[in-house]
Chain A
Amino acid sequence: MKPIHIKKEAFGPAMAKAMETYAVAGPVPDREDAKRRHLFRCLEKGETPDLEYTATQLSPKALLFPQAETMFRFKVPSGGKKAPFLEAESFKERPLAVVGIRPYDARAFDMLTLNFDSKDYKDPFFLKRCHQMVRVGLADTTLKDTNFSTACGTGPFDTTALDILLAKTEDAYIGTVITAKGKSFAAAAGFEAGSAEDTKALARMKQEAESRMRPGPDFSALADADTLDLHGEDHWARLAFSCINCGSCTFSCPTCWCFDIQDEVTGNDGVRLRLWDTCMTDLYSAHASGHNPRQERFKRFRNRFMHKLKYFPDKYGQGIMCVGCGRCIDNCPVGIDIRTIIGEMNAKAAGAAKAAGTAKTGGTDKATEAAS
């Protein structure tokens, strides 16, 4: 953990220097006329990540997991004499440094990795990018009301998923180098070493930012709750009533990873694409037979929350699949708040646990069983 200190005017030149070794991605204003909106993308020569941004409507997950990814191209020569031809992804990219990513968004990258780097399957597209990516974080000192990242086990200054953490002060970016990868990047960019003062300032800023956060939801009872009980609760249709089943929550979510694979073909030429998909649409779970286990809208709604808050924690044992960035709350057109839904689910789970506790004495209730 080595402190660094970069004067704001030195940041642009440092990025230009880093670009000699790395491809750099970062937050930039979307368009000149849309000042309030930034998005993450790979930068061209001469561009600098705009670390003065406040928030991005979309998470940076597209850098690891593009919305539309061409997996390979194929050609079936006509006549049937020549063998079909197949051209795969070449991965000629330089190592990518994502500069200005929020610490909790970086934590989401780790959650995506759990899915794409499993015992059963290692996704080459994702992993190649993931392994060479350097994550240069920017602490969130302009937290939105909807952010509840600390409640999700990460936070505006969380260093667990970062290689370097930066924080914005009046005239400089101060921070720490966390990993060896970060050290190489700091060297390539020529970041100046900081002092013990900077470390102290960082700790102070962290405490200040976290103290300003609104209390997050409580999901303590969910871990020990019975999955089928939660699934079968009678509140889902009511909670889901306003949901119009669009994909603005899942597409802006940093941890949603569902995709659909399809071929686009013209004549003898085609590509296989991997595209973001969303569990909110009926097509997502439609069977070829015509049957759809999630035909009703509330079932799709239920799946999203059950997946994030129950199936995922149960499967991987690494906490809920949510980093509390709050984008789904900000983007929801009908005002659905994941914190409210968590609260309702938790209350049901806690109620069930309490009922089970009073019904059975002797410590054989589900909660104790699961805990032992």
Chain B
Amino acid sequence: MNQFEPKIITFLCNWCSYGAADLAGVSRFQYPPNMRVVRIPCSGRVSAKMILHAIRNGADGVWISGCHPGDCHYIEGNYYARRKFYLLKELLEYSGLEPGRLQFSWISSAEGVKFAEVAHEVIEKIRDLGPASRFIKRLPEVA
């Protein structure tokens, strides 16, 4: 087993996708353990700085999941997030990030099955891309 195991930073909205992860767990839907979950109050809370920070610190992928359009706990947070993520994803991929490293999804707290499925897809896609090589911050060498 020399298969590459990616590390993926996952931002999950407290009101939906985090619950979905919970539901997938109690329902015993299996998915690979390559994610490190960060619970957030709303997908709108995730800023570009956080995503780039994860990538700079060596995450092989970043996955952000929030509520379906219309279901936001804060009424419209995910709509703002959508605009922001659209611009950010385009900009990062324009500057050399491989398509697939940055993933987004809408998963409600009732969708445990979808959560496990998307987790599979995200992880496999990033596994196929191999270890991250761009934008990573490494400590300078001693001269």
Chain A: residues with CB nearer than 8 A to chain B? Answer: 68-70, 72-73, 87-90, 93, 264, 266, 269-271, 273
B-chain residues with CB within 8 Å of residue A70 when the two chains form the complex: 140-143
Candidates B57, B137, B139, B143; contact of A89 at CB < 8 Å:
B143
Within 8 A of A (CB), among B22-50: none
Candidates A69, A73, A88, A90; contact of B139 at CB < 8 Å:
A73
A-chain residues with CB within 8 Å of residue B57 when the two chains form the complex: 266
Would you call B139 and A271 a contact (CB within 8 A)?
Answer: yes
Which chain B residue lies CB-closest to A273?
B140
Would you call B140 and A68 a contact (CB within 8 A)?
Answer: yes
Q: How far is the CA of A266 from the CA of B140 in the complex (A)?
A: 11
Chain B: residues with CB nearer than 8 A to chain A? Answer: 57, 137, 139-143
> What are 25 A-to-B residue pairs whose CB atoms are below 8 Å?
A68-B140, A69-B143, A70-B140, A70-B141, A70-B142, A70-B143, A72-B142, A73-B142, A87-B142, A88-B142, A89-B142, A90-B142, A90-B143, A93-B143, A264-B139, A264-B140, A266-B57, A266-B137, A266-B139, A269-B139, A270-B139, A271-B139, A271-B140, A271-B142, A273-B140
Main secondary structure of the interface of A (DSSP, over half): strand
* Beyond known contacts A70-B140, A73-B139, A269-B139: 17 more, CB 8 A cutoff: A69-B143, A70-B141, A70-B142, A70-B143, A72-B142, A73-B142, A87-B142, A89-B142, A89-B143, A90-B143, A264-B139, A266-B57, A266-B137, A266-B139, A270-B139, A271-B139, A271-B142
B-chain residues with CB within 8 Å of residue A88 when the two chains form the complex: 142
B-chain residues with CB within 8 Å of residue A73 when the two chains form the complex: 139, 142
Which chain A residue lies CB-closest to B57?
A266
Which chain B residue lies CB-closest to A72?
B142
Of B137, B139, B140, B141, chain A has the most CB atoms within 10 Å of the CB of B139
Q: How far is the CA of A49 from the CA of B82 in the complex (A)?
A: 53
Which chain B residue lies CB-closest to A266?
B139
Q: How far is the CA of A196 from the CA of B126 in the complex (A)?
A: 72
Which chain B residue lies CB-closest to A73?
B142
Q: How far is the CA of A72 from the CA of B57 in the complex (A)?
A: 21
A-chain residues with CB within 8 Å of residue B139 when the two chains form the complex: 73, 264, 266, 269-271
Which chain A residue lies CB-closest to B139?
A271
A-chain residues with CB within 8 Å of residue B142 when the two chains form the complex: 70, 72-73, 87-90, 271
Output the least CB separation between B63 and chain A (Å). 22
Output the least CB separation between A64 and chain B (Å). 13
Of B57, B137, B142, chain A has the most CB atoms within 10 Å of the CB of B142
Output the least CB separation between B141 and chain A (Å). 7
Output the least CB separation between A117 and chain B (Å). 20
Output the least CB separation between A345 and chain B (Å). 40
Output the least CB separation between A362 and chain B (Å). 61
Of A70, A72, A90, chain B has the most CB atoms within 10 Å of the CB of A70
Output the least CB separation between B95 and chain A (Å). 19
Which chain B residue lies CB-closest to A91?
B143
Q: How far is the CA of A270 from the CA of B138 in the complex (A)?
A: 10
A-chain residues with CB within 8 Å of residue B143 when the two chains form the complex: 69-70, 89-90, 93
Output the least CB separation between A76 and chain B (Å). 14
B-chain residues with CB within 8 Å of residue A87 when the two chains form the complex: 142
B-chain residues with CB within 8 Å of residue A266 when the two chains form the complex: 57, 137, 139
Output the least CB separation between B6 and chain A (Å). 18
Output the least CB separation between A175 and chain B (Å). 31
Which chain A residue lies CB-closest to B141?
A70
Q: How far is the CA of A269 from the CA of B57 in the complex (A)?
A: 13
Q: How far is the CA of A271 from the CA of B57 in the complex (A)?
A: 16
Across chains A and B, which 3 residue pairs bring their CB atoms closest together, nearest first? Answer: A70-B140, A73-B142, A70-B142
B-chain residues with CB within 8 Å of residue A69 when the two chains form the complex: 143
Q: How far is the CA of A266 from the CA of B59 in the complex (A)?
A: 13
Which chain A residue lies CB-closest to B140?
A70
B-chain residues with CB within 8 Å of residue A273 when the two chains form the complex: 140
Output the least CB separation between A144 and chain B (Å). 33
Output the least CB separation between B59 and chain A (Å). 13
Q: How far is the CA of A336 from the CA of B57 in the complex (A)?
A: 40
Q: How far is the CA of A73 from the CA of B140 in the complex (A)?
A: 9
